[in-house]
Amino acid sequence: MNKLWSTIGAFIFVFAFFNSLNLNAASGAACGNYLSEDGLTKGECDTAYVDASDKASLQRGAQIYMNYCLGCHSLKYARYKKVSEDLEIPLEMFKENLIFGDQKIGDLIQVGMDPKEAKEWFGNTPPDLTLEAGLRGADWVYTYLKSFYLDESRPLGVNNKVYENVGMPHVLAGLQGIPRSICKQMPSFAENGGFKQDPLTGEQLTKEQCGFLEVDPGSGQLSPEEFDIAMLDLTNFLAYMTDPMKIERETIGTYTLLYLFIFTMLSYLLYREFKKDLH
Amino acid sequence: MVTKIMNWFDDRLPLTATIERHLTKYPAPINMNIWYLAGVLLVVVLVIQLASGIWLLMNYEPTAEGAFASIQYIMRDVEYGYIIRYMHTTGASAFFALIFLHMFRGMMYGSYQKPRELLWVLGWITYLLLCMLGFTGYVLPWGQMSFWAAQVIMSLFGSIPYIGEDLLTWIRGDYLISGITLNRLFAFHVVLLPLALIAVVFVHILALHEVGSNNPDGVDVKKFKDEDGVPLDTKPFFPYDITHDLYAIGVFLIFFVAIMFFYPDGGGYVIEYVNYEAADNLKTPEHIVPSWYYTPYYAMLRAITFPLFGLTAKFLGFVVMAAGIAIFVALPWLDRSPVKSIKYKGVYSKFFLALFVLSFFVLGYLGSVTSTPLRTLMAQFFTVTYFAYFLLMPIYTKYETCKPVPDRIQLS
């Protein structure tokens, strides 16, 4: 029986080990010049808590994508029909609200823009985003979407903290408002980890730190919190795009594992029975 | 009825005799341990790869224009296509993990020694074929890493003095990696190499059943036989080994399925993230990293940073890398030890085997990360220790003191 238990133990260990790795984060490229809100880390992405089972979030994400992103970025390996089925959006509603132009429900999700012209306009053809969340990681996508800021030196007037000098305009400015890169007075830390204080007055000492993002209040349709949620929805949708079979895959996987556990158990009992002959 | 049918066949084909010889009555030493499972699991993975490969082939399009999209077609539109593909990608990694364990087992217990030299050589050929299968298969999805890995590996042939450039063009079939290259690699991957692999594995098993399995004690079980001529310290494959193997296959499949369904990317080791982007010959990825099972050899390639005797560093690196794979074949003739198993070999053998394993792992790590001057130095050091295991073997196996080997298998 010992062998069986150690097998089960080993399996649980490996499972726990893999689970402890945040595989999404591991895939991500570092986040450029992105400064965390507390000003302590630079270049680390915010965590996107994507959830493939949250259909409402995926639906909202799809809505944003089809309205704001699809003008330039295709999802050319995916089909409208599958998206409508997976996200549980009724076919008629999907056709009316989320398919533009004369594309059919069974078509791949293409853009109408001519790639050559796009290259002239933006300096580069906007990439297809079907697999973007797999390529860069969901955390990267999420942080990138939140990191546009006003920069008059750029041809389109905006820049991005995560992807410096990107050719993309701030398409979501209508929702977010006008983000600026600002400087703030931040507390400075002593060597022991506590706040640095003025030895005479006891007041906290601060130092100026630049690179924070702040949106002009009231300039966008959404509040900063609402915008973060919207970007998480959009990221969630892109993560789904990369791995649309996740839910089905894990369901089948669970049943397969259950079957194999029973099979292995029985084969162990058979093995044990025959082993008795040998000694 | 059954007997009648079997008799009909037996008169025309040695059917019963073959089944008895290779399956039911094959005598397996009684002290085989967990290391002996890698062999049977390799056969399981071979079957998985052949089956999933055939189904992938039904929907894959071997052209530079269509390959990448056809993979996504398999992943999204083909019913359960993603299961078949993940089976194949996980299978590729499992194949290498198991063959490494299988080879290490042979090295540990001296399974390459007389009379099993040919068995070892045949096994080495399967490893070589597997390396080629892994490489050719990796290019087929035509992602960024597929393309650039092909670029790096093929360019090695270009480093050969005098004939390099022409040879490279001949191998690629074009002046750069293109759809023509993809097509020939495809032909190798789905026809030539699998055929060769099946043939060599078949002969490998024939050879094994001719000389019999080695065992952890390295004792020759054929010395003592019962009145029927069956070696005393063995058990028939059926039912004792088959039930044992069935149980092992169950355990193995649990791990296999867990990775396949829950971590198909394997944290970037089974499927690399850069390959989520279609091949683009104008855009070099920041870091070109081979699959994990080639990283020890990639580290060796990069470890050679200096030209020597008028040969370029790249060519020398290529030679060292190829030698790292090739040198296994010489093992039966490098080992001068009177005993087989590491259990009875002397302290030097144990030390050098441990050093070899350490070198293999460290090189594997170094091959998967970007190089720095310190890492290059480490790679050079461990390349030397890797080869030391082989090249010093004739000396240390000859002059060390071994423990006496018992006549028969001792079960504790």
Contacts of A245 in chain B (CB under 8 A): 75-76, 82
| Nearest-CA distance A29 → chain B (Å) | 10
| B239 and B335 within one domain | no
Residue A91 falls inside a structural domain: yes
Kindly state the DSSP code that residue B329 receives in the 8-state scheme.
G
Contacts of B239 in chain A (CB under 8 A): 274
- Option in A131, A134, A250 nearest B261 (CB): A250
- Option in A77, A270, A275 nearest B69 (CB): A77
What is the rounded distance in angstroms from the CA atom of residue B22 to the CA atom of residue B2? Answer: 21
Residue A90 falls inside a structural domain: yes
Task: Tell whether the model's pLDDT for residue A26 goes beyond 80.
Answer: no
Residue A27 falls inside a structural domain: no
What is the rounded distance in angstroms from the CA atom of residue B200 to the CA atom of residue B124? Answer: 10
Q: Choose from A76, A109, A135 for mutation: most chain B CBs within 10 A.
A: A135
| B383 and B260 within one domain | no
Question: How many beta-carbon contacts under 8 Å exist across A and B?
Answer: 111
Residue A189 falls inside a structural domain: no
What residue numbers bound the domain in which B386 lies? 290-412
How many folded domains does chain B comprise? Answer: 2
What is the rounded distance in angstroms from the CA atom of residue A91 to the CA atom of residue B368? Answer: 46
- Using CA atoms, how far residue A247 sits from A86, A117, A240, A252, in Å, is 10, 39, 10, 9
Per-residue pLDDT, A14: 62
Q: Choose from B40, B243, B249, B289 for mutation: most chain A CBs within 10 A.
A: B243
**B369 touches A at CB < 8 Å:** no
Q: How confident is the model at residue A19 (pLDDT cuts 50, 70, 90)?
A: low
| B240 and B126 within one domain | yes
Residue A11 falls inside a structural domain: no
Q: How confident is the model at residue B169 (pLDDT cuts 50, 70, 90)?
A: very high
ipTM of this complex prediction, to 2 decimal places: 0.88
| B249 and B191 within one domain | yes
The mean predicted confidence, pLDDT, of chain A is 85
As given in the structure block, the two tokens for residue B60 are 């894959």
How many folded domains does chain A comprise? Answer: 1
Task: Residue B20: give its domain's CATH number.
Answer: 1.20.810.10
**B236 touches A at CB < 8 Å:** no
Question: Which has the higher per-residue pLDDT, A97 or B76?
Answer: B76
| Nearest-CA distance B218 → chain A (Å) | 20
Instruction: Tell me the mean pLDDT in the region B200-226.
Output: 90
Residues 6+ apart with CB under 8 A from B32: B213, B215, B216, B241
Among B256, B288, B320, the domain-final residue is B288
Q: pLDDT, tens digit, for every residue of B44-96?
A: 999 999 999 999 999 999 999 999 999 999 999 999 999 999 999 999 999 99
- Option in A131, A244, A250 nearest B262 (CB): A250
- Cβ of A245 within 8 Å of Cβ of B75? The answer is yes
User: What is the chain A residue with the closest CA to B86?
Assistant: A249
What is the rounded distance in angstroms from the CA atom of residue A216 to the CA atom of residue A63? Answer: 25
| B201 and B94 within one domain | yes
Per-residue pLDDT, A201: 79
Contacts of range B282-288, beta carbons closer than 8 Å, 24 or more positions apart: B283/B144, B284/B148, B285/B144, B285/B145, B285/B148, B287/B370, B288/B145, B288/B148, B288/B149, B288/B152
Task: Tell whether the model's pLDDT for residue A25 goes beyond 50.
Answer: no
Contacts of B255 in chain A (CB under 8 A): 11, 14
As given in the structure block, the two tokens for residue A246 are 């996740």
What is the rounded distance in angstroms from the CA atom of residue B34 to the CA atom of residue B29? Answer: 13
| B80 and B28 within one domain | yes
Chain A interface residues (partner B, CB cutoff 8 A) = 7, 11, 14-15, 18, 21, 23, 26-27, 76-79, 82, 130-132, 134-137, 242, 244-245, 249-250, 252-254, 256-257, 260-261, 263-264, 267-268, 270-271, 273-275, 277-279
What is the rounded distance in angstroms from the CA atom of residue B143 to the CA atom of residue B102? Answer: 31
Answer whether 0.95 is exceeded by the pTM: no
- Cβ of B247 within 8 Å of Cβ of A242? The answer is no
| B227 and B86 within one domain | yes
Residue B272 falls inside a structural domain: no
Task: Please report where in the chains the tokens 């030493």 appear, as a residue.
Answer: B29
Residue B1 falls inside a structural domain: no
Residue A21 falls inside a structural domain: no
Instruction: Tell me the mean pLDDT in the region A46-60.
Output: 93
Q: pLDDT, tens digit, for every residue of B182-204?
A: 999 999 999 999 999 999 999 99
- Using CA atoms, how far residue B386 sits from B304, B306, B379, in Å, is 14, 19, 10
Contacts of A271 in chain B (CB under 8 A): 243-244, 246-247
Per-residue pLDDT, B59: 94
DSSP B9-47: HHTTS-HHHHHIIIIIT-EEETT--GGGHHHHHHHHHHH
Q: Which amino acid is at A143?
A: T
Residue B9 falls inside a structural domain: no
DSSP B257-279: HHHHHH-TTGGGTSS-GGGGSB-
| B345 and B203 within one domain | no
Question: Which has the higher per-residue pLDDT, A213 or B251?
Answer: B251
Closest CA to B51 of B88, B4, B3, B90: B88
| B253 and B305 within one domain | no
- Option in B73, B239, B259 nearest A274 (CB): B239
Contacts of B265 in chain A (CB under 8 A): 23, 27, 134
Residue A128 falls inside a structural domain: yes
For the purposes of burial, counting CB atoms within 10 Å of the CB of A104, is it exposed (0-12), middle (13-18) or buried (19 or more)? Answer: exposed
| B296 and B156 within one domain | no
For residue B115, is the peptide bond before it cis, meaning its omega torsion is within 30 degrees of 0?
A: yes
| Nearest-CA distance A9 → chain B (Å) | 12
Highest mean pLDDT among A19-23, A67-71, A95-99, B100-104 belongs to: B100-104
Task: Residue A128: give its domain's CATH number.
Answer: 1.10.760.10
| B361 and B258 within one domain | no
The mean predicted confidence, pLDDT, of chain B is 92
Instruction: Tell me the mean pLDDT in the region B289-300.
Output: 91
Q: Which of A235-239, B41-45, B181-185, B239-243 has the lowest mean pLDDT?
A: B239-243
| B94 and B59 within one domain | yes
Per-residue pLDDT, A40: 79
Q: pLDDT, tens digit, for every residue of A148-174?
A: 999 989 888 899 999 888 889 899 988
Instruction: Tell me the mean pLDDT in the region A228-251.
Output: 94
- Cβ of A15 within 8 Å of Cβ of B239? The answer is no
Instruction: Tell me the mean pLDDT in the region B312-339.
Output: 94
Residue A279 falls inside a structural domain: no
